[in-house]
Amino acid sequence: MKAFFIKRYKDVGRLGQLPEPTVGENDVLVEVHAASVNVLDSKIRKGEFKLILPYRLPLILGNDIAGVVTAVGRKVRQFKIGDEVYGRLPDDRIGGFAELIAVDENALAPKPRNLDMEQAACVPLVALTAWQVLVETARLKAGQKVLIHAGSGGVGTIAIQLAKALGAHVSATTGSGNVEWVKALGADIVIDYRTQEFQAELHDLDVVLNSLGPDVLKKSIAVLKPGGKLISISGPPTPSFAKQRGLSWGLVQAMRFLSLGIRRKAANAGVSYDFVFMRAHGRQLRQITALIEAGSITPVVDRVFPLEATQEALTYVESGRAKGKVAIRVQASPSSLIPTPPTPALRPAP
């Protein structure tokens, strides 16, 4: 089968032929119609996660997919041949940039009926990240106040819509050119980080979702009220995360040291700090599907690239210029960039 893979860490990657996957008894074989590109793909390619995710090389990149079931393992009960599905791949079995992939059925959900394959492929990782931060970890409630950093990014665009669907008051940060656009996603307050200091504008928040660097992380403490929750998806990881992953004693201690400063600052301010590394979860994705089909969440697709241009797609995501997500169309094989299909109209800000 055709796939985009790396032979070693820090490899730029290449398109080539690899053996078709073996289907386990709990797996479905998916003909991949589309995948999406995440910052995580670049970090994995650079070897940034090799201590906690020891992949076997060569490695097919790609963390989420949409496609059609072509075979099922003997214990599979949730899906049948011909079903359209989507999902975030389990982090120890990634490989979405390929024509076929075998996936544990519990990582998948039926594809939303109102999305095409490229739109659907752009949902799972970022939507599950938003869900696991806002619903599972923060337990965000109607009327609470949340700040979402990088509101025009992949996670941010979904997190804003999810928070509004939960009834929260939403603030977001973004660049000057995206302020009105992020408001259209549903944000009540939008901070232009180029001209405003968010910590001077916002106060007494219940939750902050951070996806940026350590400086923003530290400044975010100041906008939280006592008892508030600072949750980061960009680190530093905590010792509790290391224990949950079953990492070695040495890595637990390393993460204890790496996160000591922010955990101490948060505790001194009377707030909590958590690190979330999202995981595949088909049942949660079904709940997200319901919100998508109800019109509460609309994925934002910036560009669609053919599988042959996966390297270009990775470079574009690494540039930080993408608004929303970038998709890979796997089944079509044009030689040049494919124009992005129109994103459905966003809800007006309330």
Tens of pLDDT, residue by residue over 209-261, are 999 999 999 999 999 999 999 999 998 999 999 998 889 999 999 999 999 99
User: Is the alpha carbon torsion for 159, 278, 325, 108 positive or negative?
Assistant: negative
The b-or-e profile of 40-57 (16+ CB within 10 A means b, else e) is: bbeebbeeebeebbebee
- Residue 109's contacts (CB-CB under 8 Å, 6 or more residues apart) are 85, 86, 87, 282, 283, 285, 286, 288, 289
Nearest to 128 by CA among 183, 63, 173, 68: 63
Q: Which amino acid is at 239?
A: P
- pLDDT score of 146 more than 60: yes
- pLDDT score of 262 more than 80: yes
- Where residue 346 falls among pLDDT bands split at 50, 70, 90? very low
Identify the burial level of 320 via C-beta atoms within 10 angstroms of its C-beta, where 0-12 means exposed, 13-18 middle and 19 or more buried: exposed
The partner residues of 329 in beta bridges, in order of sequence, read 34, 306
Average pLDDT in the 40-66 region? 92
**Owner of token pair 């996966």:** 310
Q: How far is CA 292 from the centre of its chain?
A: 16
Question: Is there a cis peptide before residue 58, judged by omega within 30 degrees of 0?
Answer: yes
Distance CA 299, CA 126 (A): 10
Nearest to 325 by CA among 307, 306, 343, 338: 343
Nearest to 149 by CA among 123, 106, 178, 110: 178
- pLDDT score of 345 more than 50: no
pLDDT of residue 332: 55
Domains and CATH numbers, the chain: 2-123+299-329 (3.90.180.10), 125-275 (3.40.50.720)
pLDDT of residue 334: 38
Instruction: Report the DSSP pairing between strands 325-329 and 27-37.
Output: antiparallel
Q: How many other CB atoms are there within 10 angstroms of residue 191's CB atom? A: 23
Q: Which of 39-48, 69-78, 129-138, 197-206 has the lowest mean pLDDT?
A: 39-48
Of residues 96 and 53, which shows the higher confidence score?
Answer: 96
Q: Which of 277-291, 307-321, 322-336 has the lowest mean pLDDT?
A: 322-336
